[in-house]
Structure 1
Amino acid sequence: MAKAKQVQLQIDITSDEEWEKFLQRDGLLVVDIYSEWCGPCLAMQGNLKKIKLESGGDFLHLGMARSNNVEALKRFRNKSEPTWMFIAKGQQVGLLFGSNAPELQRMIMDEMVKEKECLEGIRTRPQRLPEENSEQEQATFEKHAKIEQDRERVKVEKAQRQLKDRRIAQAKNILDTMAHLGLIIIFPHAVKKSSDILDEFLPHTGIAISKKERPQLTEEAIEDIEFLSPDKMPEACKHHLCSERALALMLTVDQEMNPGPLDETILKFAYGATKIAPGEPGTPAYSLLKSQVTKKIQEEAEAIKQQQMQAMLELDEGIDQLEEEEVEVEEEAEEEEAEEEQVAEVIDPNEFRRVSSTFSPTAITIEIEDLVEEEVVEEEVDEADLWGLWAPANDLVKSTALKYCFPLITSALILPEPEPAPAHLAIAFEVFKKHDIYKVMDEYESEILAFGFFTSDQPDEAKLIAKTKKQYEKHFTGTNYGEKLVLKVAKRKSDPILAFAQLGPTYMSSNVDTGERDCSHFFPENYEDEDAEIAPLQPRHTTFIEDTIGEDQEEMIFEGVLHGEEEEDLGDLGGEVKTYLQWKMSELISVEDEEEGEEGEGQDKATTPTTINEQAK
């Protein structure tokens, strides 16, 4: 009978149609908004029933709305914090978060008075639909947005630190084996001329080419190579370096001739005293600049042109001589007609002139100029002169470049990729259950990614109060029964999730996506840092509880909890007092366990908290 009466007093709303029908009621509507996986706030039902029967009557209507099924309440989905919405004439007039019974009672009484004044024309009712954010929600949203920005900034900074640390570790791993080797990279446009130019500079330097490779570099590879370099390539040079295969030269250095650091020796050889690109005049790097290579091509083309013009002049002289001989033949032809015909068949002057005209100096000169001009235009860039040679600024940059230029040699030195964090969930419990939770944590130790003690089980509101069991016990003072123990549990296996679920969590992430978000709030990127912010441990509700009930009533409710009575049967404060006494029972049993000196007796008592907790559910 009691349960039937409860159903009549508090309407269950599970669809849009039921929601719209409920909004048509006159008076003040108080709706407990809950998520399907979490359920309504049962601890408050006793208080609501009393207010309805004693003060509200037909003017107060109570409802429980499942946000998963009501479109107007979609912003409350996947949340476990108790939420109370106050509605009158279809307008949202108030909103309360949390299970604070005195505050809920006060707000219901105040809103009933205000609504009666609105009906009498004394007060104007706020105009805000239930699906719209309240001022409180907007302020909370802005606060959370700021927190999210800070978390994202910390996340990015940590990712950058991890990336840098990983790249340094990788570079050092290669350096351990290849520190005695040097490297230079020749840009694609300079590959053909590099051999001749290096032959001019390498002798008597103590530097020798050990191996050659023709790598096809990518933008990602260049970004990795330059990550630890203080000097960056111009964008035009990066683009050109990726356009075709470059030439990588692995170098050895004679330490007797060059006693200084190997990489410094190669920088000075490549660029001169400046040791930076594009290099000083009279160095290999400067000689391989695009403009210098083009100039050399033009000079060589000009030399070829002069040689061919000289050949054409000599050819012209030969043609003139042949023409003189032709005249002599014509004179002889007048005397001997038979011989003239034979000579005409052997040498036809018109045909000879036609063939010789195709080799004219002018035609050849034009063709050579076209070729030179075409080659120069093909190598032209607008923004900057292309480098021809690159040398690493330090040994770490050299190691990274060796990884991409000589992959067959360095493949055995590549560090394995770090394993990504497994999918995980956030699971929160009342602190008084900590001893039962510790046992499961020990059983599935490898699946517990992080844990901590917080002021709340709401990811957006919770503040850290302790990161370890020892830290919590050390600073634990008074009856702080409202705090939560929150775990970050890997979802690789189902057994640990099921084991924790059986202990009655106050909150559990609905899926791995929500779990990732929840854990980013509970356990941010800097959670392991020693200077992570820890909130001072403050007692919650204890003053209200202890001032409200006396020893006799506490003993009566204590007995009720032990015998599994429903919260509504424990009095007006049944929900909160039940939680308080559950905590006291857990702590009392814990103290008794610690006082037992023998292991056997301790094991017998270890089962007691679970039994009482199960009875008290």
Structure 2
Amino acid sequence: MALTSAVANAAAAAAAAGAGKKAAQVQLQAELNTDDEWNKFLTRDGLLVVDVYSEWCGPCIGMVGNLKKLKVELGGDNLHLAVAKSDTIECLKRFRKRSEPTWMFIAAGQLLNVVFGADAPRLARTIEQELKNEELAKKGERERPKRAPHELTPPEQEVADAQEKLQRERKEREVAAVEAARLARREARAKRLETHFADVCPALVMPHAQKHLRKISDALEPHGVIVADKCPTLLGKDGARILAVEEPELGNEATTAAIAERPSLALLLKKLPDKEGDVIELCRRALCGDGIETEDGAPPKKVPAEELRADSVPGVYVPADRHQRAAVLDLLFPKMIASLIEPPTPAEPPHIAMMFGAWQRCAVLNVAANLKTRMLRYGFYADDNVQEPRLLCKNIDQYELRPEKDYCETIVMMIAVGHAEPALADPNDIPTEGPPEELMALGPLHVSEDAVVGSEECGRFFPPGYSEPEPKPKPKSKKKKKAKRQENKEDVSDEANPDAVQSTESVETNEAGGEEPEGDGEADADGDAEGEGDADGEEAEGEDADEQHALDKATSPPPPTPH
């Protein structure tokens, strides 16, 4: 009995020792999740080595064994290890959304060094060197760098500057591309309208100046221009915004309020047939004084635009060029324009391509449904080839009908990252720059570098005509085998064509005799049709069975690659 008790006590002691050893191992690496835990850890004496990670990626597990070995062999009580979650610690926010292992070296509250990557030999050398530097600093033989943990080290600053320069260049390219597309649309619209409205020019008389219409028409008459049409119009906020973009002078608060809240008078000015010159230049010269030269010393003659001005609100507005003319014609006389020319097509906003595995389709489309109008198009493709994509189908319903799916199949989305006309859009309707964070959290396989590259890539994934509805196939009707009688459509006399009489008589004889081949033919046709239907039914059932047993390889992630 005593022997048994002794053995039990020894086992308990060994277990306690093992538990104590395990507890000691756990304490070798502290876990920091809050600002308080972070600040408390910084007060420790010695060299602090912190593995900074993001929640979606996790800390670098492969380096834990090496770090603990280094602590035991080199650091002892002078080396402290920790893992810190950047998502919940404000000081580490610059490391968020990164998957690269990040190691911070801190001593006495100052940031000594930052190392990126899971390079075990390099990390060991850095720890050994920083431990020596810390010993020298404690002896007063070396001065620690004065750098707070939230500040960037020189290598980090170089990387940040390079990234900032790259982002700036990308932004400049995107802005230039948006402006070039805008000018191309305006030029195309101006050319289209000139085919019917080359000799007309619109004008807008402000609410306070409508009673002076006679003065405006009198000023136009000497220049060979008449008022061909006029109509009151309330432009509202959207119309006022369009005019403010075309003419900045109309963008002041008083003018915008007047145009948006009170009716203005839209004029359609027309050049007389015998008058030479551009109608826009003639109208601007008559109403705004453009191009009028005065004699030396003589005061300039007042024009209607100046005479009818009320404080900061001009009396009349006339487009300055053919692009403005086209935009103002579409705004003031939409019905007249639509009767002769198709309305302008809505411009596509700057966009990028985002690619995911087809097995993520449900999650991706659920997220995209909450992004309002940012998802412009999507489709399913055979693989992840961006240069030569192979389209499988254009929507989720068609994809689900596919009997076989594969891991390599992808879903590609065209995502708006801006607005085609930012100056005309409501600030609340302009999407944020860059890809949506909700989609980035799903781990895309490919994201366009910027909107310029995205436009080229989306041009390959979604070529012109992609969104046009596909023609529906006509339903196939079952044809029955019936004997067809050949009718004689020509009116030929019996005497002139005795063979026709003989043919007719033979047909009548066959009908009188109750010829059965025709009826049998119909019965056979019906039977054949029924047989075909049965065969089709069996075939369909077989296909359904095959579909049920088919492996849907695109409903789950691809298997991990063996190492």
- Cα deviations by residue, 1:482-510 (Å, 9 ceiling, x for unpaired): xxxx9986789xxxxxxxxxxxxxxxx99
Deviation at 1:41, TM superposition (A): 1.7
Query: Which amino acid counterpart does residue 403 of structure 1 have in structure 2?
Result: D
User: Within the alignment, does 1:222 sit opposite 2:265 as a pair?
Assistant: no
Query: Which amino acid counterpart does residue 28 of structure 1 have in structure 2?
Result: L
Superposition map of 1:205-604 within 5 A? 209-216=227-234, 220-226=241-247, 242=259, 246-253=264-271, 255=273, 257-258=274-275, 264-265=278-279, 267-268=281-282, 271=285, 277=290, 279=292, 289=304, 391-410=318-337, 413-418=342-347, 447=378, 468=387, 511-512=437-438, 523-527=449-453
Distance 1:19 1:181, change over 3 A: closer
Distance 1:70 1:439, change over 3 A: closer
Superposition map of 1:60-75 within 5 A? 60-75=79-94
For residue 106 of structure 1, what is the aligned residue in structure 2? 125
For residue 198 of structure 1, what is the aligned residue in structure 2? 217
Q: RMSD of the TM alignment (CA)? A: 5.7
Structure 2: stretches of 5+ with no match in the other structure: 1-17, 295-299, 366-376, 390-409, 417-434, 457-550
Aligned partner of residue 62 in structure 1, secondary structure: strand
Distance 1:424 1:112, change over 3 A: farther
Aligned partner of residue 39 in structure 1, secondary structure: coil
Deviation at 1:439, TM superposition (A): 9.3
Q: Distance in 2 between matches of 1:216 and 1:391?
A: 17
Query: Is 2:217–2:227's contact at 8 Å kept on the other side of the alignment?
Result: no
Deviation at 1:440, TM superposition (A): 7.8
Query: Which amino acid counterpart does residue 397 of structure 1 have in structure 2?
Result: Q
User: Within the alignment, does 1:183 sit opposite 2:195 as a pair?
Assistant: no
Q: Distance in 2 between matches of 1:73 and 1:270?
A: 61
Deviation at 1:58, TM superposition (A): 4.2
Q: Distance in 1 between matches of 2:283 and 2:265?
A: 17
User: Within the alignment, does 1:15 sit opposite 2:28 as a pair?
Assistant: no
Query: Which amino acid counterpart does residue 243 of structure 2 have in structure 1?
Result: I
Aligned partner of residue 452 in structure 2, secondary structure: coil
For residue 55 of structure 2, what is the aligned residue in structure 1? 36
2:177 aligns with one of 149, 158, 172: 158
- RCO (CA 8 Å, sep 6+): is it higher in 1 or 2? 1
Deviation at 1:406, TM superposition (A): 2.2
Query: Which amino acid counterpart does residue 222 of structure 1 have in structure 2?
Result: L
Deviation at 1:204, TM superposition (A): 11
Q: Distance in 2 between matches of 1:116 and 1:58?
A: 12
Q: Distance in 1 between matches of 2:197 and 2:165?
A: 48
Deviation at 1:402, TM superposition (A): 1.4
Query: Which amino acid counterpart does residue 277 of structure 1 have in structure 2?
Result: D
Structure 1: stretches of 5+ with no match in the other structure: 295-378, 428-436, 454-465, 471-485, 493-508, 531-602
Q: Distance in 2 between matches of 1:438 and 1:77?
A: 28
Query: Is 1:426–1:487's contact at 8 Å kept on the other side of the alignment?
Result: yes
Identical-pair percentage: 31
Query: Is 2:220–2:226's contact at 8 Å kept on the other side of the alignment?
Result: no
- Cα deviations by residue, 1:490-542 (Å, 9 ceiling, x for unpaired): 789xxxxxxxxxxxxxxxx99349779x9999612433589xxxxxxxxxxxx
1:124 aligns with one of 132, 143, 146: 143
Aligned partner of residue 527 in structure 1, secondary structure: helix
Deviation at 1:39, TM superposition (A): 0.6
Q: Distance in 1 between matches of 2:282 and 2:200?
A: 16
Aligned partner of residue 84 in structure 1, secondary structure: strand
Aligned partner of residue 214 in structure 1, secondary structure: strand
Deviation at 1:85, TM superposition (A): 0.8
Distance 1:52 1:187, change over 3 A: closer
Distance 1:449 1:235, change over 3 A: farther
Deviation at 1:110, TM superposition (A): 0.7
Distance 1:112 1:447, change over 3 A: farther
Distance 1:3 1:410, change over 3 A: farther
Distance 1:245 1:46, change over 3 A: same
Q: Distance in 1 between matches of 2:258 and 2:55?
A: 58
Q: Distance in 2 between matches of 1:71 and 1:397?
A: 50
Moved more, 65-74 or 210-219: 210-219
Q: Distance in 2 between matches of 1:236 and 1:24?
A: 57
Aligned partner of residue 86 in structure 1, secondary structure: strand
Query: Is 2:233–2:264's contact at 8 Å kept on the other side of the alignment?
Result: yes
For residue 324 of structure 1, what is the aligned residue in structure 2? none
Aligned partner of residue 171 in structure 2, secondary structure: helix
- Normalising to structure 1: TM-score of the pair? 0.48
Distance 1:216 1:81, change over 3 A: same
Q: Distance in 1 between matches of 2:55 and 2:205?
A: 65
- Normalising to structure 2: TM-score of the pair? 0.52
- Cα deviations by residue, 1:329-367 (Å, 9 ceiling, x for unpaired): xxxxxxxxxxxxxxxxxxxxxxxxxxxxxxxxxxxxxxx
- Cα deviations by residue, 1:426-468 (Å, 9 ceiling, x for unpaired): 98xxxxxxxxx69989xx9964899xx9xxxxxxxxxxxx974
Distance 1:268 1:88, change over 3 A: closer
Query: Is 1:16–1:69's contact at 8 Å kept on the other side of the alignment?
Result: yes
Query: Which amino acid counterpart does residue 526 of structure 1 have in structure 2?
Result: V
